[in-house]
Chain A
Amino acid sequence: MAFWGTAAPAISAAFLASLVEVVEAFTIVLAVGTIQGWRPAALGAGAGLLLLALLVLLLGPLLDRVPLPLLQFLIGVLLPLFGMRWLRKAILRGAGVIPLHDEMVTFAAETVQLEESASHYGTRLDWIAGVTAFKAVVLEGLEVVFIVIAVGAGGGLLWPASIRAVAACALVFTIGIVVHQPLARLPREYSEVRGRRCAKRLWRVLDGRRTRHRMARP
């Protein structure tokens, strides 16, 4: 009972924080898959997950070799920096000083970027699309890895926190695979028109809030 009293907050934090990061990665993978096809998206995302798994498998055992006081010191310094950054942005978004993190806008921006790349790189677009998916999965995955280490390393909760993070990833991808079907059924032209309209809305928002866009997370 005492274990769950200590573990539950850490495991819940790992699950919820990982959920947020996985949603951001999935938005970009979804944009790549919708515009360029699921093969480059799946290959890029798969390569990103493989790299993350390798990093965890290679560096994970090293955590046991790091002296506990040093590990606690490093995580103790990095965690307030990480958390304060999140809190500051959450307060500013709640107060309306900076725009809310809009996944639709992110989706539209990635769509426009990929379409622009198509006109420049032609047959290399599959490679660019795959790299975009790879980069999104690696970047957001590194945040998830840090969250899992931060909440789990000090209290011997690495495995429970890791399992919750993987569960969050599986949940988002499952929901995404179910929900993306309507998007996949739309004609490509409709997706492109909708993507351009969302992108135009994005530019209008940016133009009207030029200074706040500086604070917005890409």
Chain B
Amino acid sequence: MKMVKTIIREIFGLFIDDQFLALATLVVVGGTAIVVTVTTGTSMVAAMTLLGGCLFVLVAGVWRTARSALRE
């Protein structure tokens, strides 16, 4: 049972390590879905939204972690 819990925790950890990063990524994915719906057929806008959003979230996540580490 303990091994099963460890495996489930590890599988969960494959996708969610930092809560902020995971939530922000989901927001970006959701925002891209909305853009796709609204712009109907303009795939470039959706692609740039996804790319820009992911880059922003990545930079923000790294910045938050680095700032916490520097403070401590």
Complex CA distance for A85 and B68, rounded to whole angstroms: 17
Across the interface, do B57 and A84 meet the contact criterion of CB distance under 8 Å? yes
- Asked whether any CB of chain A lies closer than 8 Å to the CB of B31, the reply is no
- Asked whether any CB of chain A lies closer than 8 Å to the CB of B47, the reply is no
Across the interface, do B69 and A85 meet the contact criterion of CB distance under 8 Å? no
Across the interface, do A135 and B7 meet the contact criterion of CB distance under 8 Å? yes
Across the interface, do A84 and B10 meet the contact criterion of CB distance under 8 Å? no
| Minimal beta-carbon separation of A147 from chain B (angstroms) | 10
Partner of B7, one of A80, A84, A87, A138: A138
Complex CA distance for A92 and B18, rounded to whole angstroms: 13
- Asked whether any CB of chain B lies closer than 8 Å to the CB of A38, the reply is no
User: Which residues of chain A are near B57, meaning CB under 8 Å?
Assistant: 84
Across the interface, do A81 and B65 meet the contact criterion of CB distance under 8 Å? no
- Asked whether any CB of chain A lies closer than 8 Å to the CB of B49, the reply is no
With A80-B28, A84-B57 already in contact, the answer to whether A212 and B69 are too (CB < 8 A) is: yes
Complex CA distance for A81 and B13, rounded to whole angstroms: 10
Complex CA distance for A141 and B72, rounded to whole angstroms: 36
User: Which residues of chain B are near A63, meaning CB under 8 Å?
Assistant: none
Number of A residues with CB within 8 Å of any CB on chain B: 26
Complex CA distance for A84 and B60, rounded to whole angstroms: 12
Residue pairs across A and B with CB atoms within 8 Å: the count is: 67
Please give me the residue from chain B that is nearest to A210 by CB atom.
B72
Across the interface, do B10 and A139 meet the contact criterion of CB distance under 8 Å? yes
**In the complex, chain A residues 53-84 whose Cβ is within 8 Å of any chain B Cβ:** 76-78, 80-82, 84
What mask results when residues 159 to 193 of chain A are scored 1 for a CB within 8 Å of chain B, else 0? Answer: 00000000000000000000000000000000000
With A88-B21, A92-B65, A138-B7 already in contact, the answer to whether A77 and B14 are too (CB < 8 A) is: no
- Asked whether any CB of chain B lies closer than 8 Å to the CB of A16, the reply is no
Given contacts A81-B25, A82-B14, A85-B18, 4 further A-B contacts (CB under 8 A): A80-B28, A88-B61, A138-B7, A139-B7
Interface residues of B, Cβ cutoff 8 Å to A: 3, 6-7, 10-11, 14-18, 21-22, 25-26, 28-29, 54, 57-58, 61-62, 65-66, 68-69, 72
- What are 25 A-B pairs with beta-carbon distances under 8 A? A76-B29, A77-B29, A81-B25, A81-B26, A82-B14, A84-B54, A84-B58, A84-B61, A85-B15, A85-B18, A85-B21, A87-B58, A88-B58, A88-B65, A89-B17, A91-B58, A92-B62, A92-B66, A131-B3, A135-B6, A135-B7, A138-B7, A139-B7, A212-B69, A215-B65
Interface residues of A, Cβ cutoff 8 Å to B: 76-78, 80-82, 84-85, 87-89, 91-92, 95, 97-98, 131, 135, 138-139, 142-143, 146, 211-212, 215
